[in-house]
């Protein structure tokens, strides 16, 4: 897993072994 910068409205894709296994849009940023 690689850390990346995210912002609201950003589109992203989750890839595993060269295949896209998920995609979406950031709707909310949560603080830990």
One-character DSSP codes across 1-32:
-------TT-EEEEEETTEEEEEEE-------
- For the whole model, what pTM was predicted? 0.64
- Summarize pLDDT for 11-28 with one digit per residue, the tens: 999 999 999 999 999 999
pLDDT at 9: 96
**CB–CB of 14/21 below 8 Å?**
yes
| pLDDT greater than 90 at residue 7 | yes
**CB–CB of 14/22 below 8 Å?**
yes
- Residues in Cβ contact with 32 at an 8 Å cutoff, skipping those fewer than 6 apart: none
CATH superfamily of the domain spanning 1-32: Translation factors (2.40.30.10)
């Amino acid at each position: 897993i690689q850390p990346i910068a995210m912002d609201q409205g950003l589109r992203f894709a989750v890839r595993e072994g060269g295949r896209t296994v998920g995609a979406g849009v950031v709707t909310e940023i949560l603080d830990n």
